[in-house]
Amino acid sequence: MDLGRIDLNLLRVFEAVFEERNLVRAGRRLHLSQSAVSHALTRLREVLHDELFVRTGKGMEPTARAVAMAAPLKESLQRIQETLGAMPFVPQQATRRFVVAANDYVTAVLVARLARLLATVAPQVDLVIRPSTRLDLAEQIDVGRIDVAVGIFAEVPERLQSQAVWTQEEVLVMRKGHAIGRRKVTVADLAQFPLLTVSLGGHEEGAVSGFIVERGLARQSEMFDRSALEDALSHAGLVPRLRVMVPHAMAIPALLHDSDMLSIVPSPLAAEFARGGAIRAQPLPYPAASSTLRAVWHRRNEHDPAHLWLRDRILEAAQTVETPAG
């Protein structure tokens, strides 16, 4: 391989195509025409003796060589930028796009506030949301296709960094006018009335004790403390009935409408539901562990000015979220 034939521009093109999987979008990101991107790829293919990307119906799919190159190359480019001196991030002038991974609950409660904040302080910055429930979440962070993932994580490997966003409790929600809506809920009620729960990935996806572990990153698979619920009822000789299990938390109000079901959700989500007036929240009749919502990113971005700015804005948006105790 002739290193003299490679310049940083070719590597930036590779990075953009790998993350976008599309020549047109990669060109827009780099302010290049599609033909210029295609020409750069051709030069890089000739030097590396590999196709790097294959055109398919889903876009530009990377070869095994490209996948192996992506993460080390991104980290190397980051180090070069840090060595030469990182450009300051100016929000009002920036045209950067950030990719955040979040489930629908975090998107509705936190990301909606973040988007409104960015529209004010950085009007040309774009925000793309990817599902944090995807099985390759850790890989997508590793290769740089996701800037920050926000969720509940039991374990975060050393190559990643994390920061607490808020701590939340679990509460019970039900439709307005429910038979137990205006009295203290008992453990027996959780056996009498069926439950609606949120599962973000079950045993078939490798979930263990409510978490899925991938590449050392353990993400939440169930949006409630199943063990605490089952222990509370078993002590009373009762068994809960999980009538409906859904992957999308924002479907809960519609499913509770005209239903006798109850649902266990994080307190910030319950507060969001209650704002609509059709959902009522009640404390749980048993102790459940609190959980901490965290932002997770790759260590290579720890000191990047743009990433620092984004993480600060996430925390700023989080300060406006209600996190009432159950």
pLDDT tens figures, 1-53: 555 556 778 888 999 999 899 999 888 888 788 888 898 899 899 888 999 99
Q: Determine the pLDDT at residue 2.
A: 56
313 is in which domain, residue-wise? 89-326
28 and 144 fall within a common domain:
no
Check which CATH number belongs to the domain holding 216 and give it.
3.40.190.290
Check which CATH number belongs to the domain holding 39 and give it.
1.10.10.10
Q: Determine the pLDDT at residue 32.
A: 80
For residue 135, pLDDT over 80 is answered with no
Query: Of the ranges 70-74, 149-153, 197-201, 308-312, which one carries the lowest mean pLDDT score?
Result: 197-201
149 and 186 fall within a common domain:
yes
Domain count, the chain: 2
pLDDT tens figures, 81-123: 767 666 678 899 888 899 999 999 999 999 999 999 999 999 9
Q: Identify the bridge partners of residue 24 per DSSP, sorted by sequence position.
A: none
63 and 103 fall within a common domain:
no
13 and 122 fall within a common domain:
no
Q: Determine the pLDDT at residue 31.
A: 77
Q: Determine the pLDDT at residue 7.
A: 74
Residue where a domain terminates, one of 41, 66, 84:
84
SS (H, E, C) the chain: CCHHHCCHHHHHHHHHHHHHCCHHHHHHHHCCCHHHHHHHHHHHHHHHCCCCEEEECCEEEECHHHHHHHHHHHHHHHHHHHHHCCCCCCCCCCCCEEEEEECHHHHHHHHHHHHHHHHHHCCCCEEEEEECCCCCHHHHHHCCCCCEEEEEEEECCCCEEEEEEEEECEEEEEECCCCCCCCCCCCCHHHHCCEEEEECCCHHHCCECCEEEECCEEEECECCCHHHHHHHHHHCCCCCCEEEEECCHHHHHHHHCCCCCEEEEEHHHHHHHHHCCCEEEEECCCCCCCEEEEEEEEHHHCCCHHHHHHHHHHHHHHCCCCCCCC
Answer whether 297's CB lies under 8 Å from 306's CB: no
For residue 326, pLDDT over 60 is answered with no
Q: What is the mean pLDDT of residues 246-268?
A: 96
Residue where a domain terminates, one of 52, 84, 116:
84
Q: What is the mean pLDDT of residues 299-315?
A: 91
109 and 40 fall within a common domain:
no
Q: What is the mean pLDDT of residues 129-133?
A: 91
Residue where a domain terminates, one of 84, 111, 138:
84
Q: Determine the pLDDT at residue 204.
A: 53
31 and 154 fall within a common domain:
no
Local confidence band at 264 (pLDDT 50, 70, 90 cut-offs): very high
pLDDT tens figures, 192-247: 999 999 987 665 566 777 889 999 999 999 999 999 999 999 999 999 999 999 99
13 and 71 fall within a common domain:
yes
74 and 116 fall within a common domain:
no
**What stretch of H or E contains 82?**
helix 64-84
pLDDT tens figures, 56-90: 988 999 999 999 999 888 888 877 776 766 667 88
Q: Determine the pLDDT at residue 5.
A: 58
Q: Mean pLDDT over all residues of the chain?
A: 90
35 burial level (CB within 10 Å; 0-12, 13-18, 19+) = exposed
45 and 104 fall within a common domain:
no
78 and 96 fall within a common domain:
no
63 and 136 fall within a common domain:
no
